[in-house]
Chains A and B, each alone.
Chain A
Amino acid sequence: MQVSPTPQPVTLTVFAAASLTDAFNEIGRNFEAQNPETKLVFNFAGSQQLAQQLAQGAPADIFASANRKQIDALSQDGGRIISGTARIFARNRLVVIYPHDNPLQLRRLTDLAQPGLKVVLAAKEVPVGQYALDFLDKATQDKNLGAEFKAKVLKNVVSYEENVRSVLTKVALGEGDAGMVYASDISGEAATKVGRIEIPDKLNMVATYPIAPINNHYNSPQAQRFIDYVISAEGQAVLTKYGFISVN
């Protein structure tokens, strides 16, 4: 039988996608309450920026990304993540948003193509930006939206923001007439600042969020405990509360 040692105080550094900010802050509080010897430090930013920082050697224990691409890039031979250790912990869907007072009376997806509209998207380097472009590709196959839809919407884009929260802010401020963000970004308080147009399931891009421990030879058991907590029923409940789709 194994005698468990007295827990040493541990600080876990979690690199997490910007869209996870609210959910992970709450999950972090809950985890710290249950594991008093562990302190969590979060670094929220665009997944692509975090991946680059990790590739350049930034110290971290856990990486939660908004797409598989960033985790895969780090899972190459000799990379910071051991191949096969990543697990999907959440899913997310795209949604179109517009400023709360909806000055241009946007109602349906086709309205995005109307000339003169100011659309704000995330840059294609950002996961949600790439998902948005993928959605536009899919939309050209749709009879209702038409083959010209993608070209017209891209013509309306005025800015490719560096992370998803900037998109939300600019649309909420009314600087943009419409934008595309994750459904999780407009749960809670943000829902009062913007209106939404749903994207039907058959056109929608489902973002898969993987989480993986960083291969750093220390903090491994504690890091795994956090990952297990995120995937547990409690962690999933918090994620669902913030608009993510649970994996259970």
Chain B
Amino acid sequence: MKNQFVLSVNFQVMDLSLYKVQNLIKAGVIRCQNSLPKVRPKISGLLSLPFLLFITLPLIAIFWRTSLTDLTVHLGQTQVVNAISVSLITSLISTLLSVIFGTPVAYLLARREVAYRQIIDTLIDLPTVLPPAVAGVALLMAFGRRGLVGHWFDDFGIHIAFTQIAVILAQSFVAAPLYIKAATLGFKSINPELEDAAALDGANSWQIFRYITIPLAWAALLSGCVMTWARALGEFGATIIFAGNYPGKTQTMPLAIYLGFELDLSVALTLSVILVGCSFGVLMVVKGLLRHKLEL
């Protein structure tokens, strides 16, 4: 299916088959150049300046206040190294769990005519909208030692609060919905007729999912992954309430920055610089990969 046609399409004439053409374009079968004139008001650049400055100035200010010697000194300290490793490990596991457990949910929302779809959709939006502190309190009430289900876990000797498990749960709670939303959109954008066609050709559900759905949606899935990982990395409110703060075990970078701010500003600045640099780097790389597929 990899024949590539360059078509000049006049959308006003072909609008009856537009839907099919769009899907074939998305599937990479046809590449299309639109020759309609583009309208780009020049003033939008000027009007965008305030917001762009607002975003950039604080980030620059962090770098401006940090010296290279500060960075090298603190990067060697145990507390800083511990915070970085706890953050990286927990955020990666949280992202992985979000993908494993979130993909079925996204597929459900995209494909199946589920009863109460609105409610499920709103439920998934909730962690993103709630203040993280609320998420932390809620998780503590549910999974804490005397929590709703937590006390059963405790009876079996499984301790959740004050452990890295709690950190991962807190991060997943607030970050997984971002992946699910992106994945749902990704799955929705695939024309079901493509999947039906594969089924007609004899593919079973798993084959359809693996060879049709995933390849067509991978850009949205990857983008969702990155958002989830970034949100998990920055999670603070739910973490400090549910998992507590123990250097080396549950003290993530945001917690170390918060406490460092109160004791030693240069520690907070070092960690902030690392977080900003890391996030920026990863986002640039991913956007570079996805430039062709999504309108980013």
**Set of chain B residues within 8 Å of A48, measured between Cβ atoms:** 262-263
The answer to whether the Cβ of B145 comes within 8 Å of any Cβ in the partner chain is yes
User: A52 to B262, Cβ gap below 8 A?
Assistant: yes
Stretch at the interface among A15-23, A139-147, A152-160, A196-204: A152-160
Which residues A122-136 have CB closer than 8 A to chain B?
A: 123, 125
The answer to whether the Cβ of A137 comes within 8 Å of any Cβ in the partner chain is no
Query: Would you give the shortest CB distance from B262 to chain A, in whole angstroms?
Result: 4
Contact among B146, B246, B259, B262 for A157, CB-based, below 8 A = B246
Stretch at the interface among A31-39, A169-177, A186-194, A232-240: A169-177
A158–B259 CA distance with the chains assembled, in angstroms: 17
User: B246 to A162, Cβ gap below 8 A?
Assistant: no
Which residues B200-257 have CB closer than 8 A to chain A?
A: 240, 243-247, 250
A174–B145 CA distance with the chains assembled, in angstroms: 7
Kindly name the residue among A118, A161, A170, A175 whose own CB sees the greatest number of chain B CB atoms within 10 A.
A175
**Set of chain B residues within 8 Å of A51, measured between Cβ atoms:** 262
**Set of chain B residues within 8 Å of A175, measured between Cβ atoms:** 140, 144-146, 161-162
**Set of chain B residues within 8 Å of A162, measured between Cβ atoms:** 240, 245, 258-259
The answer to whether the Cβ of A215 comes within 8 Å of any Cβ in the partner chain is no
A77–B246 CA distance with the chains assembled, in angstroms: 35
Contact among B146, B244, B246, B262 for A49, CB-based, below 8 A = B262
**Set of chain A residues within 8 Å of B245, measured between Cβ atoms:** 123, 159-162
**Set of chain B residues within 8 Å of A125, measured between Cβ atoms:** 259, 262-263
Residue of B nearest to A101 (CB): B146
The answer to whether the Cβ of A178 comes within 8 Å of any Cβ in the partner chain is no
Q: Is the interface of A mostly helix, strand, loop or mixed?
A: mixed
The answer to whether the Cβ of B261 comes within 8 Å of any Cβ in the partner chain is yes
A160–B79 CA distance with the chains assembled, in angstroms: 14
**Set of chain A residues within 8 Å of B126, measured between Cβ atoms:** none
The answer to whether the Cβ of B294 comes within 8 Å of any Cβ in the partner chain is no
Q: Interface residues of B toward A: which range?
A: 10 to 19
Residue of B nearest to A170 (CB): B244
**Set of chain A residues within 8 Å of B262, measured between Cβ atoms:** 46, 48-49, 51-52, 125
Given A125-B259, A175-B146, A159-B246 contact (CB < 8 Å): yes
A113–B259 CA distance with the chains assembled, in angstroms: 27
Query: Would you give the shortest CB distance from B246 to chain A, in whole angstroms?
Result: 6
Residue of A nearest to B242 (CB): A175
**Set of chain A residues within 8 Å of B134, measured between Cβ atoms:** none
The answer to whether the Cβ of A94 comes within 8 Å of any Cβ in the partner chain is no
The answer to whether the Cβ of A120 comes within 8 Å of any Cβ in the partner chain is yes
**Set of chain A residues within 8 Å of B243, measured between Cβ atoms:** 159
**Set of chain B residues within 8 Å of A158, measured between Cβ atoms:** 162, 244, 246
The answer to whether the Cβ of B265 comes within 8 Å of any Cβ in the partner chain is yes
Given A158-B244, A158-B246, A160-B246, A173-B144 contact (CB < 8 Å): yes
**Set of chain B residues within 8 Å of A118, measured between Cβ atoms:** 162
Contact among B140, B250, B261 for A52, CB-based, below 8 A = B261
Which residues B124-167 have CB closer than 8 A to chain A?
A: 140, 144-146, 161-162
Query: Would you give the shortest CB distance from A173 to chain B, in whole angstroms?
Result: 7
Q: List residues of chain A with CB under 8 Å of any chain B CB.
A: 46, 48-49, 51-52, 118, 120, 123, 125, 157-162, 170, 173-175
Given contacts A125-B263, A158-B244, 13 further A-B contacts (CB under 8 A): A46-B262, A48-B262, A49-B262, A52-B261, A123-B245, A159-B243, A160-B244, A160-B247, A161-B244, A174-B144, A174-B145, A174-B146, A175-B145
17 residue pairs of the A-B complex, CB under 8 angstroms, read A46-B262, A48-B263, A49-B261, A52-B265, A118-B162, A125-B259, A157-B246, A159-B250, A161-B244, A161-B245, A162-B240, A173-B144, A174-B144, A174-B145, A175-B140, A175-B146, A175-B162
